[in-house]
Structures are given as C-alpha cells and as structure tokens.
Structure 1
Amino acid sequence: MKKIALTIALLCSASLFSGQAAANAFVDGEDAVSYRQAAFQTIRFNLVDINDMFRGNVPYDLERVQRRAEALAALTQLPWEAFNIPGADHASGKVKTALWQNLDDFNSRGDKFAADAAALHEAAQAGDRRQIQGAFREFANNCKACHDNYRAD
C-alpha cells in the first residue's frame, strides 16, 4: 500500500514539473524555430520513406510503413506549439507573413494534419495497401497545401 501511495505521489509531482517545463519549453522565438524545423525535418524523413515505397524507389515493406506511420502520428503533434509562443512571429524561419495573419487557419490545418497522420497510422495497422495509399495521399496533400499557403521558399 505504501508503494502505491509513493508511486502516486511521484507521478503527481512529475506531472507538476512537466507542466512547468512545458510552459517554458522555448527560450525565445529562435528556439521555437529550431524546434519546429527539427520536428518538420523528422516528419519529412518519414513521409519521404513511405513515398519512396509507393513510388517503387525502394521495396515496399509493410512493417516499415507501419513504423513510419506510427512515428508520423506522434511527430505531427509536435510543431504547432512552437508557432504560438510570444516572439515566434518575429523569429527567422521559412514562413510567409500570411501564416501570422491567418494563425487560426494555420492551427486548424495543423490539427487536420495530425488527424490525417492518425488515419494513416490506423490504415497502416490494418495492413491494406490501397487503404494505406489513400490515407497517405490525403496526408501528403494536406502537407503540400499548407506549404503552398504558408511556407516561404
């Protein structure tokens, strides 16, 4: 019984500290840019690997697609916070000014992007290649649409 109480106490204190850390995750806008760029690069790596399999550039491997889709479902949750911190709109980065003028639209696109990644992950777990390919197409198209509207070259 004491172990359970101690475990609960430790978990509660850990969640308090992690909440404080999350509130102060970025030092400044430049730190946020570095974070979101790293997240997007990792997303890109996983997206390109799946795309290469569907294009026949590398052999199709369902287990590899499943791993990539699982990673995408987690990774697509990450970058959005870094766009919503004070100073992020004045930091460097490859974004058009339209992003800051339409932040609500951008954030809703981020939500859809994450939902598309979750759907891709679900399709990958089911294992049907056509279903995976359709979910991947939706995911990739959403990615491109956001780039077209909000990413500077």
Structure 2
Amino acid sequence: MLRQHLDRLELTTTGEGFHDLTAQLGASLAATGLRLGVLHLAVLHTSCSLTINENADPRVLQDLTACLRALVPQEGVRPISGEGPLRAWDHDDEGPDDMPAHVRTALTATNLSLSFEGGRLLLGTWQAVYLWEHRNRPHRRQLSAHWIGS
C-alpha cells in the first residue's frame, strides 16, 4: 500500500557554496517509516538550487563554483562571443549578487526526484545531495520533501 509524507526541511546557509543535505534527508526518510519509493525534493527559493554531485573531493565543488561564476558573472553580462560592452544587471533590489543568483538558479535545478530502497536513498558511492547557495550572505532556506512509497 502506497503512503505519502510531506516534510518541510530548513537550513541556514553560510553564503555562497554547497550544503550537504544527505544526512538530513536520511533522517527525514527514517522518520517516515517508508522503505521503498521516491522522494520529490524541491527548494522553495529563486536564488539557490539543488544538485547531486561528488562528495569525496572538495575540488569538484570548487570547480563547479568557478564554472558557474564564469558563466554568470556578478558584475553583469557580455555577449556570448565575449566581445562587446558589459551590460550591468537591471535587477539588483537585494544587492549586486541578486540577479546573478536568479540566473544561476535558472541554469541549474530547483527540484530533484530520488529513489529509495531499504529505507535509504539510492545514491552512488561518491554522491551527495546538495543545496547550492548562489547568494553571498547567509540565508534561511526551506525545502519540501515529498516522500511516496511503502
């Protein structure tokens, strides 16, 4: 018989970077009593995202950050060719990192679907689930964890 459980998770980020959610999700799953099913995970904000990535070598996360900073610079955007004038971001209501954070979120993911079996998330040996904060200062972030299974 299928059952559902909806959980709200919260965390405070320390600013730009990756925050490992794997243990918090494991605890949430254990509290549901479900053993087999799927998790639909959503971050409820427009300036951070979710990713499944390397959990063993921190250089992977550093390189991902450098790549996204290069693709979406804080000071504005240039034509794809790299030639031409810099166009500053119009939207900066919450500071100079506001619009770049929105673009970075649009290029990544705000939802993930993950299977679980035996009461554990099915992740590869070197995988972890991360919230990727795109803002420079700390923020309180909420996530929706919708567990469906038996």
TM-score normalised by L of structure 1: 0.30
**Which protein has the bigger strand share?**
2
Return the index of the structure with the highest Cα Rg.
Answer: 1
**Which protein has the bigger helix share?**
1
Q: Which has the higher contact order (CA 8 A, sep 6+)?
A: 2
